[in-house]
C-alpha cells in the first residue's frame, strides 16, 4: 500500500488513489446506460481520468450490469483502481463532470432534429436534478440533437454558459480528419481541419482554414505535386456529414467514436488542458444571438469559452449563419419546454 494514498471526501467517503497519478481524485458521472453511455464510461475508465465513475439510468439494473462489466476490466486497465458503480442523482454531489447521454436514439432515416421534442421532455426531468445535486459541476451534453439539448440544459440548469458544453462537432471534426488523411495519405492527426455549426445536416467545413503541415490545402497539394480537387473535398465533407446515417444503417447506433470524443472533452476539463475543441455552447454566431452551435473553444476546468472570432470567407460565414438559424428555429419550437 506504500504507493497508495487515501483521502476522506464528503460524507466521510474514502477514496484511494496512487501517488503515481499527478491529478487529484476525480469523480465523473454518466447519465444514461445505453450504447453511448456505457461506451463512454468504459472509455473514461480505460483513460484513467477518474477515481470514480458513477452510471445513472432510469433502468437501474441496466446501469448495474454495465458498471459490473466495466469493473471487471479495471484490473486490466492502466490505473487498475477506478471505482465504477451504478448510482442515483444523490451521487452527483462532487462530480467534476456530468456527462448526459440519456435520450431517444436516432433510428435509420431520422435526422438528429427529429428527436428534439422527445429528448427535450426527458431533459425536463434530468437537468433540474443535476443542477440540484451538482451545482458546481461542468455539464457535458451528448444527447441529440446536441445543439438544442445543450441550449435546453443551459436554460433548465441555470448554469453559466461556460459550464454547459455539448459534444458538438468534435466527432465530426475527427471524421473529417480521417477523410482528409486518407485522401492525402497522411496521418489524420497531422490534418488541421474542423467542422463548425450544427452537429447535423447543416454543419459547415471552413475549407479556408484547413491546413496540413502549416500549409493551406491548395499550397500543400502544390508542394506535394498532388491535384487540388475541390469536388473530392466536397465529397469528403458530405461523407463526414452523413457518416452517422451510414453507421446506424449498418449497426443500429454509433457509440465508440462519440465515446472517444466525449473522453477527450472530459480530459480537457479535468486536466484543465486549455485545449481548443469544437464543442457546442450558447452564444452569438454569424449575427444570430442566443443560439447554441460549435466553433473552436478553449476547454479547461472552468468549462469552455470562445477566445477568438472565426475569420471566414463570405460563403462560409453565410453557411454558418444558415446553420445557426436552423438550430434557432428548432430551439424556438420547444416553446414551454424552455421554461424553468
The catalytic residue positions are 199
116 is in an annotated binding site: no
168 is in an annotated binding site: no
Residue 107's region, left for phi above 0, alpha for psi from -120 to 50, else beta, is beta
59 is in an annotated binding site: no
Q: Which residues sit opposite 298 in a β-bridge? A: 276, 305
Please, are residues 55 and 87 in contact by the beta-carbon 8 Å criterion? yes
Grid cell of 338 as nine digits? 424552455
Please, are residues 220 and 191 in contact by the beta-carbon 8 Å criterion? no
Pairwise CA distance, residues 147 & 166, whole Å? 7
How far is residue 66 from each of residues 25, 33, 243, 263, measured CA to CA in Å? 22, 7, 27, 17
303 is in an annotated binding site: no
Containing 65, the helix (H) or strand (E) segment is helix 60-71
Pairwise CA distance, residues 327 & 151, whole Å? 10
34 is in an annotated binding site: yes
DSSP code, position 9? -
37 is in an annotated binding site: yes
| Burial classification of residue 310, based on how many CB atoms lie within 10 Å of its CB (0-12 exposed, 13-18 middle, 19 or more buried) | middle
| Burial classification of residue 85, based on how many CB atoms lie within 10 Å of its CB (0-12 exposed, 13-18 middle, 19 or more buried) | middle
Pairwise CA distance, residues 322 & 315, whole Å? 11
Which of 170, 39, 28, 25 shows the shortest CA–CA distance to 99? 28
Angle 177-183-187 (CA atoms, 0-180°, nearest 5)?
Answer: 50
Straight-line distance from the first to the last Cα atom of the chain, in angstroms, rounded to the nearest whole number: 49
Annotated binding site for NAD(+): 32-37, 57, 119
Annotated binding site: 32-37, 57, 119
Amino acid at each position: 500500500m506504500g504507493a497508495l494514498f487515501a483521502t476522506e471526501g464528503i460524507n466521510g467517503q474514502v477514496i484511494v488513489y496512487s501517488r503515481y497519478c499527478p491529478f487529484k481524485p476525480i469523480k465523473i458521472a454518466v447519465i444514461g446506460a445505453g450504447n453511448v453511455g456505457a461506451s463512454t464510461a468504459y472509455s473514461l475508465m480505460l483513460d484513467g481520468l477518474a477515481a470514480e465513475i458513477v452510471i445513472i439510468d432510469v433502468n437501474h439494473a441496466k446501469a448495474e450490469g454495465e458498471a459490473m462489466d466495466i469493473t471487471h476490466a479495471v484490473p486490466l486497465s492502466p490505473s487498475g483502481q477506478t471505482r465504477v458503480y451504478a448510482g442515483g442523482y444523490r451521487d452527483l454531489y462532487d462530480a467534476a463532470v456530468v456527462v448526459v447521454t440519456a435520450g431517444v436514439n436516432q433510428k435509420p432515416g431520422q435526422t438528429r432534429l427529429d428527436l428534439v421534442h422527445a429528448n427535450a421532455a426527458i431533459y425536463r426531468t434530468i437537468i433540474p436534478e443535476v443542477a440540484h445535486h451538482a451545482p458546481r459541476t461542468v455539464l457535458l451534453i451528448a444527447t441529440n440533437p446536441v445543439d438544442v439539448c445543450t441550449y435546453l440544459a443551459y436554460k433548465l440548469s441555470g448554469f453559466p454558459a461556460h459550464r454547459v458544453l455539448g459534444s458538438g462537432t468534435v466527432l465530426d471534426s475527427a471524421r473529417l480528419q480521417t477523410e482528409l488523411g486518407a485522401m492525402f495519405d497522411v496521418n489524420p492527426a497531422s490534418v488541421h481541419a474542423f467542422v463548425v455549426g450544427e452537429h447535423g445536416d447543416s454543419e459547415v467545413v471552413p475549407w479556408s482554414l484547413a491546413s496540413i503541415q502549416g500549409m493551406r490545402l491548395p499550397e500543400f497539394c502544390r508542394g506535394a505535386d498532388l491535384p487540388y480537387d475541390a469536388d473530392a473535398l466536397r465529397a469528403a465533407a458530405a461523407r463526414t456529414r452523413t457518416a452517422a446515417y451510414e453507421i446506424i444503417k449498418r449497426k443500429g447506433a454509433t457509440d465508440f467514436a462519440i465515446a472517444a470524443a466525449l473522453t477527450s472533452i472530459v480530459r480537457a476539463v479535468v486536466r484543465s488542458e486549455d485545449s481548443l475543441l469544437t464543442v457546442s455552447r450558447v452564444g452569438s454566431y454569424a449575427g444570430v444571438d442566443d443560439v447554441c452551435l460549435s466553433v473552436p473553444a478553449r476547454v479547461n476546468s472552468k468549462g469552455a469559452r470562445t477566445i477568438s472570432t472565426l475569420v471566414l470567407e463570405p460563403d462560409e460565414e453565410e453557411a454558418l449563419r444558415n446553420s445557426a438559424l436552423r438550430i434557432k428555429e428548432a430551439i424556438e419550437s420547444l416553446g414551454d419546454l424552455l421554461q424553468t
